[in-house]
Amino acid sequence: MASTRTILVFQHDAGLHTLETTVTAIFPFNDLEESNRLLFKDACEEHHVIVTEHTIFHPQGGGQPSDTGVLKGPSGAFAVTAVRTDANGQVLHLGLFEGPPSAFKEGDTVLQAIDVEKRLLYSRLHTAGHVLGASVRHLLEKEIENFDELKASHFPDSAACEFQGSIEGKWKDSIQQKLDGYIAAKMPVQIEWWDEEDFRSRGLERLIPDRSLVPAGEKSRVVNIVGAEVYPCGGTHVDSTDLCGPVTVKKISRKQGNSRVSYGVQ
């Protein structure tokens, strides 16, 4: 498989729901390298993988589910059911042909179309997770010993943010109030590209990504919730905090010195 990285159009324009691009590779699922087959848990031998020069499909990662949708070719269609990124930075679109696989070939121009309803839901959940993280940090950073933000899931049925330190249940209402305030404030959610000096000049050295995660010569993509917090992030987002809709803090659980705050959007 060629190792040219897929151009991630969604990282620059998440509002683009269709895109014409070129097919660079097509593989029956069983012909993939084992490391790439392992990226897809529910695939079978009927599935194929298509690689394109550009993509508006968000691959699963960073706590966000992958987009689904369709690739429409000159004489057929391909239903995209899962999307992942391989070790070379290629985006692998897994799915099923709606007709013979021979209807698609390398070099074809195809129209990508994502499931817009899912994209909006995932974007609302992802932004809401960052707003929750910012709410907890601003409220508890100096109250909880060894506090830090760890990781998050923005999946619809398991959305939660995890923190280092023990957050007691008594904080739930205060976190909800802080979160409600940030949502109501309609804070702009801006996508920006920073180098290491941009982080340092703002006193955010703790957020500088591992060098191995940023291609040489490129800047890090960050999501700036203006007035609240900045997060290095490759996901999709709504344009302002109020567009998350009502966000509910569901539960705070604790395990081995860490805390998990689950949430949902309406």
Quote the CA–CA distance of 117 and 94 in Å, as a whole number. 20
Give the pLDDT of residue 99. 87
The CATH number that applies at residue 14 is: 2.40.30.130
The CATH number that applies at residue 159 is: 3.30.980.10
Which residues, 6 or more positions from 18, have their beta carbon under 8 angstroms from its beta carbon? 56, 111, 112, 113, 114
Residue in 141, 160, 154, 264 with CA at minimum distance from that of residue 206: 141
Residue finishing a domain among 69, 95, 114:
114
Q: Is residue 1 part of a domain?
A: no
Torsion from C-alpha of 210, 212, 9, 225, nearest 10 degrees: 0
Give the pLDDT of residue 103. 87
Please tell me whether residues 159 and 261 are part of one structural domain. yes
| Residue range 47-93, pLDDT digits in tens | 999 999 999 999 999 999 999 999 999 889 999 999 999 999 999 99
Q: Is residue 220 part of a domain?
A: yes
Give the pLDDT of residue 3. 64
Which residues, 6 or more positions from 256, have their beta carbon under 8 angstroms from its beta carbon? none
Say how far residue 87 (Cα) sits from the centre of its chain.
Answer: 17
Which residues, 6 or more positions from 116, have their beta carbon under 8 angstroms from its beta carbon? 17
Helix, strand, or coil here: 139?
Answer: helix
| Residue range 172-230, pLDDT digits in tens | 999 999 999 999 999 999 999 999 999 999 999 999 988 777 777 889 999 999 999 99
Structure tokens at 57: 């499909």
Q: Is residue 191 part of a domain?
A: yes
Please tell me whether residues 107 and 163 are part of one structural domain. no
Please tell me whether residues 163 and 227 are part of one structural domain. yes
What is the band of 1 on the pLDDT scale with cuts at 50, 70, 90? very low
Please tell me whether residues 164 and 53 are part of one structural domain. no
Please tell me whether residues 110 and 124 are part of one structural domain. no
Structure tokens at 60: 């699963």
Count structural domains, the chain.
2
DSSP-derived pairing of the beta strands 7-8 and 54-55: parallel
Residue 208 or 248, more confident:
248
Contact indicator for 127, 62 with CB cutoff of 8 Å: no
Residue finishing a domain among 114, 144, 170:
114
Helix, strand, or coil here: 101?
Answer: helix
Residue in 141, 181, 136, 144 with CA at minimum distance from that of residue 162: 136
Q: Is residue 2 part of a domain?
A: no
Residue finishing a domain among 114, 146, 172:
114
What DSSP assignment string belongs to 60-83? SBTTBPPP-EEEEETTEEEEEEEE
Q: Is residue 185 part of a domain?
A: yes
List the domain range (segments joined by +) for residue 62.
7-114
Please tell me whether residues 12 and 132 are part of one structural domain. no
| Residue range 109-125, pLDDT digits in tens | 999 999 999 999 999 99
Please tell me whether residues 95 and 134 are part of one structural domain. no
Structure tokens at 159: 């959305």
- Of all residues in the chain, what percent carry a pLDDT higher than 70? 99
The rounded mean pLDDT for the chain is: 95
Q: Is residue 213 part of a domain?
A: yes
Please tell me whether residues 242 and 133 are part of one structural domain. yes
Q: Is residue 98 part of a domain?
A: yes
Give the pLDDT of residue 217. 81
| Residue range 115-158, pLDDT digits in tens | 999 999 999 999 999 999 999 999 999 999 899 999 999 999 99
Q: Is residue 179 part of a domain?
A: yes
Residue in 139, 128, 147 with CA at minimum distance from that of residue 171: 139
